[in-house]
Amino acid sequence: MVVNPERVHRFLVQTTAEPTRAGLETLMRDTTKGHFLVWLPLTHNYEHVGQADLIRGLLGHPRRF
C-alpha cells in the first residue's frame, strides 16, 4: 500500500518549513507504508549514534566507532 500523497502534503504543510517540505514530499512519494515501518526501527537509532559521535568529535574526544 502506497502512502497517500494528499495526506502527506497536508501533514507537511501543517508541520514543516517551506524549504524542507519539497524534499520530504519527494522522498515520501511512491514509498510504501511497509518501507517506513521497516526503515524507522532499523535505521533511526543509528542516525542518533552518528549525531552523538559527531558531537563527541567536536568536543575533542577520540572517536569510539
Tens of pLDDT, residue by residue over 39-61, are 878 888 888 888 888 899 899 88
User: What is the grid cell recorded at 61?
Assistant: 574526544
* pLDDT for the residue 64: 66
How many domains are contained in the chain? 2
For residue 3, the enclosing domain spans 1-31
What does the pLDDT average to over 28-41? Answer: 80
Is the pLDDT at 19 greater than 80, yes or no? Answer: no
* pLDDT for the residue 8: 76
* pLDDT for the residue 38: 86
User: What is the grid cell recorded at 32?
Assistant: 510504501
Please tell me whether residues 27 and 43 are part of one structural domain. no
Please tell me whether residues 40 and 26 are part of one structural domain. no
Q: Is 39 within 8 Å of 23 (Cβ atoms)?
A: no
